[in-house]
Amino acid sequence: MTGVDRVEFAYLDQLVSRETPAFGLLRSALGYLLIDRAGMIALRDGALDLRRDMIGRIAWRDDPQRGHAEAALRRLAIARCTRFGLRHMLARHLPQDATYINTGHTNLDTRGLAQIKAAGLQIAVLVHDTIPLDHPKFARPDSIAPFRRKLQAVSAQADLVIHSTEATRTATESQFLTMGRVPPGIVANLGVTVADPQPCPRPAAPYFVILGTIEPRKNHALLLDLWQSMTTPPHLLILGGRGWSIDALATRLDALPASGPIQERAGLSDGQISFLLQGAQALLFPSFAEGFGIPALEAASLGTPVICSDLPVFRELLADFAVYLSPTDSYSWMETIQQYAMTGKKIKKSKAQPSWAEHFKIVLNRL
């Protein structure tokens, strides 16, 4: 799962485990679906009847997996409506004084949020970052304007905004200022849960790891340039799936020799990633911008050194655990990597990580 996927799953798991009534609101091809706690538990546990129905076959012919999932949720729904009937559906089925919590960056449109508010619900939104607006060159061109509209809807409608760090709160509220309203906000670090290491093939020591979706913002090109210039490079594991706008980078990755010092691995389990992080000389994180940076915290919890970009969010979360470098300073990255490669594995005292229990204590006490 991506970082946002993990957050959404943590909220789903938390809300169905509480005694208070819980419902799930889902956007579908024809409007909205409302599921109760039993439906949410089935979604959490993957216990879905994945037979595609006629609507799924027509609406999602190019995405059968989505069609199967949506059909299963239609069968679980206690109510459904068109996109114009959301207010009435929620008012009819939800208890008074309910709160709508949006934990991703989807379904943040002015019409939908206005209907939710008109039904009498409070609105809380977790904004992960504002990277598409702060660093548009690292976003898909067709995503920037829609993201701005989403943030404008949050600015106008949200009763509470949940921020994962003080750094992201500062950036997000700076954007809200330009939109006319800064909603009340709280800061609650996201929880970091590290899977038990699951053995898998490791390269010979020393080796380094970069973990995350392969996209321009993550700055994989810096490391490829450095490894190309080294006479006797250590091993580098590139862990994560390929993202967007990486044609030139993908060409370089495809040209890497199978037996060379750089290996690209995708589709690993969380346990296998933990195992590879645990044995690495260091996690390399030369990203140009981050909203939180879960891989860095995962490495720190395993006692694996972190060499990362000098970003406010990393300073806030990692303090003196990490080595901070400019993402454009190739010389410093080269010097630091070579130093770590020559000195042997540096096992650091693991850093205590923020927990989901702490996160939900802050958030749910405020709702």
By the 8 A CB rule, do 121 and 21 touch? no
For residues 114 and 17, membership in a common domain is answered with: yes
Report the distance separating Cα 212 and Cα 309, nearest Å.
14
Which residues of the chain are modeled with pLDDT < 50? none
The answer on 251 and 266 residing in a single domain is yes
At residue 55, the pLDDT reads: 67
pLDDT at 147: 97
pLDDT at residue number 40: 95
Taking alpha carbons only, the member of 56, 79, 83, 81 closest to residue 69 is 56
Q: What is the DSSP string of 224-285?
A: HHHHHH-SS--EEEEES-B-SS-HHHHHHHHTS-TTSSEEEE-S--HHHHHHHHHHSS-EEE
Please report whether residue 197 resides in a domain: no
Q: Does one domain contain both 9 and 137? A: yes
80 and 38 assigned to the same domain: yes
What is the span of the domain harbouring residue 53? 24-86
**Overall pTM surpassing 0.85 (yes/no):** yes
| Per-residue pLDDT tens digits for 120-140 | 999 999 999 999 999 999 988
Asked if residues 359 and 188 have their Cβ atoms less than 8 Å apart, the reply is: yes
* pLDDT tens for each residue of 217-250: 999 999 999 999 999 999 999 999 999 889 999 9
- Same domain assignment for residues 104 and 2: yes
Does residue 322 form part of some domain? yes
User: Residue 83, Cβ neighbours under 10 Å: how many?
Assistant: 14
Give the other-Cβ count within 10 Å of 304's Cβ: 25
Contacts of 285 (CB under 8 A, 6+ apart): 210, 211, 212, 293, 295, 296, 306, 307, 308, 309, 314
Give pLDDT, residue 49: 73
Single-letter amino acid, residue 69? A
According to the model, what pLDDT value does residue 172 have?
A: 98
Whether the Cβ atoms of residue 316 and residue 163 lie closer than 8 Å to each other: no
- Paired with 160 in beta bridges are 124
Assess whether 51 and 175 both reside in one domain: no
CATH number reported for the structural domain that contains residue 233 in this entry: 3.40.50.2000
Is 200 inside any structural domain? no
The answer to whether residues 216 and 168 belong to one domain is: no
Supply the angle between the helices 3-16 and 37-45 in degrees, to the nearest 10: 140
What letter would DSSP give residue 18? S
Which residue is associated with the tokens 């996209």?
Answer: 215
